[in-house]
Amino acid sequence: QATSSALRQVVGTTTLDQIITEGRDAWGISVQDVLVKTLARYKTGIVIVNVSPQPARAPENVQDAFDDAIKAQEDEKRFKEQARAYAAKVVPIAEGNAKRIFEETKAFAEQVVLRARGETAEFLELLPEYTRAPFVTGERMYLDAMQQILSATSKIIVDGKAGSLMYLPLDKLAIQSPAIKLSKVDEMHSDTLVSLPGNDGRETTRPTERQERTNR
């Protein structure tokens, strides 16, 4: 009777899930404690060594639902372990990527600043020369800039005075005949003399704009 009373007392304060699943050992210890106290109160002299509850099962009509509940708990435990493993794997990678992006951004900022300082220093070095000879210095800066721009683009050479359009695919010409020199191209346009008909019908020879600028 003492055992049944202790068992009813513990089972009455324990959920069914704990009795059927993982709480079996815990409520068995609780039954043992209640039973020991009861026997000690009556001074029976009986010593309780261990209380080991037998596996409990739900009624057959609800057994499938309890099996699903147990499986859901197992799945929850497995998913939590997988999530912790995934976090342990992904978080260091994300931190590494963030650090790498920060370092790349920092290096890019330093590179931009150094480039700007270098370009500024270049203009500051040209300032005394520009002060002494502004036309020559400006012309040289213009030619340097045009050389950088035209070296990466296709060229179209136009003779505005003659009213004709001539297109030279220099990139293709360079592939077909690498031996072509730029001096050849110069001879074909602005460095040559242009023959124009005069008022009397005779052809007159006029220097190009570049030659006029050189003569001046």
Position 95 scores a pLDDT of 92
Report how far residue 43's alpha carbon sits from residue 114's, in angstroms, rounded to the nearest whole number.
Answer: 93
Of residues 12 and 76, more confidence is placed in: 76
For residue 126, how many other CB atoms are within 10 A of its CB? Answer: 14
pLDDT for the residue 159: 63
Find which of 131-145, 176-190, 194-208 is predicted with most confidence, using mean pLDDT.
131-145
According to the model, what pLDDT value does residue 83 have?
92
pLDDT score, position 207: 44
pTM for this predicted structure:
0.34
Which residue is associated with the tokens 């030279």? 168
Is residue 37 scored above 80 in pLDDT? yes
Contact indicator for 33, 17 with CB cutoff of 8 Å: no
Residue 79 has pLDDT above 50, yes or no: yes
* Average pLDDT score, the chain: 73
The least confident of 12-26, 69-83, 162-176, 185-199 is: 185-199
Confidence of residue 166 (pLDDT cuts 50, 70, 90): low
> How much is the average pLDDT of 176-205?
44
Split at pLDDT 50, 70, 90, the class of 102 is very high
